């Protein structure tokens, strides 16, 4: 049974809802006073360190092991560190199974690394302070299989880095970074999930960041569509009380029936989405508070395959959307509201057959360009259009271009840009 993930922060927000029905992940409840009976049939370790410059290392092999580590009182010059390894092959005997790691660090410059191999393992890491680093790996490329694992990292402060890597299938990862008290210094989040054909149900990755200048990257690789898919990725940057600026979001997925959703709350935000395969869906919402003065946001969406869907929704001025789709029966949609101070731009490129492009722009000074190659294409552009959310202001000075080419005619095709995956790595 798939767990449902929702961070404690998201539960508190309440007012934020994705246009799609979001996935959720049930958070692990941190045990403040763990006891030896917390797990049955395995080994038990509990480490409590106070002061600066402490190190803790735990290695547990087998099934149903539990590790609890808490470190408090540190500074950047005297950092605390944690290294946890829980391992064992799932086959031929049951091992590396039902292990649990619980890590809590309070202070500056802390670092923890947690590794689990096998199935149905859980990691919870909490860090409070600045310049902390969290590294989680569940599964390995060989020889361990790994599925139904859960990893949750929660960081409160600025300049924090969190990375979760999960291998094989049906795993879940959640990263929450709160930086709402400190502007100008952001956090970084990286989630990398790779599936293999073995029982390849979809992976779930959720990233949530508060404050300015944050970066979130999600990579979900299911190989070719025949090998799997069904992945779900969500990034939320900012919330109703701490509107984010200067945010960067990137989501890359391969396989079939994947979903990627990114929501960014104010201005100067960037979102890249790339999907390779069929029946995928990509959605971006920017300046979601509907502030007419916000803007200068950028969306790039790239899809290669059939029956894919790309949607972008922007409020404010000076925004840009670039969409590219290659294949058949694809659909793209752009909504750009306001635009009174500086017009918005939308570009849709579709190469294949039976594709459909829709662009709606409000107010004046907007530009739209649609370039479609192939048979049975449809393009619809509305400018100075009173789309839902606000009435159109002064109209005029808009520009619209539609180019539709039959693939059998010797015309110069549109230039295919590099896929919109300006892939960042830690």
| Position 335 pLDDT exceeds 80 | yes
pLDDT of residue 276: 93
**Token pair in block for residue 264:** 């960014």
Average pLDDT, the chain: 81
10 Å CB burial of residue 230 (0-12, 13-18, 19+) is buried
Alpha carbon 172 to chain centroid distance?
12
Give, in degrees to the nearest 5, the angle at Cα 328 between 326 and 332. 65
pLDDT of residue 41: 54
pLDDT of residue 345: 94
Bridge partner residues of 383 (DSSP): 361
| DSSP 8-state assignment for residue 38 | G
Which of 12-21, 160-169, 410-419 holds the top average pLDDT? 160-169
Per-residue pLDDT tens digits for 229-275: 889 999 999 876 666 789 999 999 998 899 999 999 888 999 999 99
Confidence class of residue 218 from pLDDT cuts 50, 70 and 90? very high
| Position 164 pLDDT exceeds 90 | yes
Is 68 part of a structural domain of the chain? Answer: yes
Confidence class of residue 369 from pLDDT cuts 50, 70 and 90? very high
Confidence class of residue 38 from pLDDT cuts 50, 70 and 90? very low
Higher-confidence position of 339 and 158: 158
Judging by DSSP bridges, how do beta strands 281-286 and 232-237 pair with one another?
A: unpaired
Is 305 part of a structural domain of the chain? Answer: yes
The C-alpha atoms of residue 173 and residue 157 are separated, in whole angstroms, by 20
pLDDT of residue 96: 78
Q: Which domain holds residue 128?
A: 8-405
Judging by DSSP bridges, how do beta strands 100-106 and 122-128 pair with one another?
A: parallel
Per-residue pLDDT tens digits for 191-200: 999 886 666 6
Give, in degrees to the nearest 5, the angle at Cα 238 between 236 and 242. 160
Helix, strand, coil percentages (3-state) for the chain, rounded to 5, are 5, 50, 50
pLDDT of residue 37: 41
The C-alpha atoms of residue 180 and residue 177 are separated, in whole angstroms, by 9
pLDDT of residue 201: 66
pTM to 2 decimals? 0.87
Is 66 part of a structural domain of the chain? Answer: yes
Contact assessment for residue 204 and residue 172, using Cβ atoms and an 8 Å cutoff: yes
Give, in degrees to the nearest 5, the angle at Cα 257 between 251 and 260. 25
Is 107 part of a structural domain of the chain? Answer: yes
Higher-confidence position of 410 and 117: 117
Is 423 part of a structural domain of the chain? Answer: no
The C-alpha atoms of residue 294 and residue 338 are separated, in whole angstroms, by 10
- The neighbour count for residue 242, using CB atoms within 10 Å, is 18
Is 421 part of a structural domain of the chain? Answer: no
The number of domains in the chain is: 1
The C-alpha atoms of residue 338 and residue 169 are separated, in whole angstroms, by 43
pLDDT of residue 141: 58
Contact assessment for residue 62 and residue 88, using Cβ atoms and an 8 Å cutoff: yes
pLDDT exceeding 90 applies to what percent of the chain? 47
Across 74-95, average pLDDT: 76
Residue closest to 319 by CA, chosen among 383, 394, 268, 370: 268
Is 422 part of a structural domain of the chain? Answer: no
Residue closest to 325 by CA, chosen among 417, 260, 241: 417
pLDDT of residue 10: 34
Is 415 part of a structural domain of the chain? Answer: no
Across 401-419, average pLDDT: 68
C-alpha dihedral, 286 to 284 to 24 to 118, nearest 10°: -120
Contact assessment for residue 189 and residue 175, using Cβ atoms and an 8 Å cutoff: yes
Contact assessment for residue 344 and residue 317, using Cβ atoms and an 8 Å cutoff: yes
Give, in degrees to the nearest 5, the angle at Cα 220 between 216 and 226. 160
């Amino acid at each position: 049974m798939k767990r449902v993930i929702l961070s404690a922060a998201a539960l508190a927000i309440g007012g934020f809802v994705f246009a799609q029905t979001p996935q959720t992940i049930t958070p692990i409840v941190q045990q403040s006073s763990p006891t030896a009976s917390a797990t049955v049939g395995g080994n038990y370790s509990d480490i409590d360190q106070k002061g600066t410059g402490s190190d803790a290392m735990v290695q547990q092999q087998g099934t149903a092991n539990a590790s609890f580590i808490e470190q408090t009182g540190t500074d950047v010059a005297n950092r605390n560190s944690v290294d946890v390894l829980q391992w064992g092959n799932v086959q031929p005997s049951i091992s590396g199974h039902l292990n649990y790691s619980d890590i809590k660090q309070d202070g500056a410059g802390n670092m923890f690394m947690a590794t689990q191999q096998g199935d149905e393992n859980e990691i919870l890491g909490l860090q409070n302070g600045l310049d902390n680093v969290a590294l989680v790996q569940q599964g390995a490329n060989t020889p361990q299989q790994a599925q139904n694992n859960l990893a949750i990292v929660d960081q409160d402060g600025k300049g924090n880095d969190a990375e979760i890597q999960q291998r094989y299938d049906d795993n879940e990862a959640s990263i929450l970074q709160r930086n709402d008290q400190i502007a100008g210094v952001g956090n970084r989040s990286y989630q990398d999930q790779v599936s293999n054909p073995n029982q390849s149900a979809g992976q779930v990755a959720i990233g949530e960041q508060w404050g300015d200048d944050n970066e979130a990257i999600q990579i979900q690789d299911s190989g070719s569509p025949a090998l799997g898919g069904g992945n779900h990725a969500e990034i939320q940057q900012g919330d109703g009380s701490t509107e984010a600026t200067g945010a960067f979001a990137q989501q890359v997925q391969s396989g079939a029936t994947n979903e990627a959703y990114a929501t960014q709350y104010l201005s100067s935000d960037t979102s890249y989405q790339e999907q390779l395969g069929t029946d995928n869906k990509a959605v971006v919402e920017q300046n979601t508070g509907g502030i007419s003065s916000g803007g200068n946001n950028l969306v790039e969406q790239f899809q290669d395959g059939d029956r894919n869907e790309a949607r972008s929704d922007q409020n404010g001025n000076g925004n840009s959307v670039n969409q590219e789709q290659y294949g058949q029966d694809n659909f793209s949609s752009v909504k750009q509201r306001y635009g009174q101070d500086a017009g918005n731009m939308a570009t849709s490129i579709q190469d294949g057959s039976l594709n459909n492009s829709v662009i709606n722009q409000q107010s004046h000074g907007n530009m739209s360009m649609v370039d479609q190659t192939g048979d049975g294409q449809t393009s619809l552009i509305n400018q100075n259009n009173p789309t839902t959310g606000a009435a159109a202001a002064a109209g005029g000075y808009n520009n619209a271009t539609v180019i539709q080419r039959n693939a059998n005619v010797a015309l110069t095709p549109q230039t295919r840009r590099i896929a919109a995956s300006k892939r960042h790595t830690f």
